[in-house]
Amino acid sequence: MNKAVQYFSDEYLEQCRKLTPEQILEFLEDFRALNAPGAKSKSRLISMKVPENLLSAFKTKSALAGIPYQAQIKRLMRRWALGEP
């Protein structure tokens, strides 16, 4: 299986250089927990304010793609947390 090549900005690499060993360890533990085979974590209900026009547009675009909008939010959060494009 071929894996995609990752490209990092200079700013991101500089930020990574400033991490403490504890921060690196915490990142690796979180990454491992997110990617463990069969890993299921408990979900937590959150509340956040979103501008109505943004939410409406997001719901519409998700519906057109055939994806429940809350599932799409979770996908975007996961991709961002894992540093995926």
Residue 41 within any structural domain of the chain: no
The crossing angle, in degrees rounded to 10, of helices 52-64 and 69-81 is 100
* Angle value at C-alpha 46, between 78 and 36, nearest 5 degrees: 30
Count of domains observed in the chain: 1
> Is residue 81 within 8 Å of 34, Cβ to Cβ?
yes
Residue 55 within any structural domain of the chain: yes
pTM of the model: 0.55
Decide which of 31 and 75 is more confident. 75
Residue 72 within any structural domain of the chain: yes
Q: Which of 3-12, 13-22, 44-53, 72-81 shows the lowest mean pLDDT across its residues?
A: 3-12
Q: Which domain holds residue 75?
A: 10-35+49-81
Q: pLDDT per residue over 23-70, tens digit each?
A: 888 888 888 877 777 766 778 899 999 999 999 999 999 999 999 999
Residue 68 within any structural domain of the chain: yes
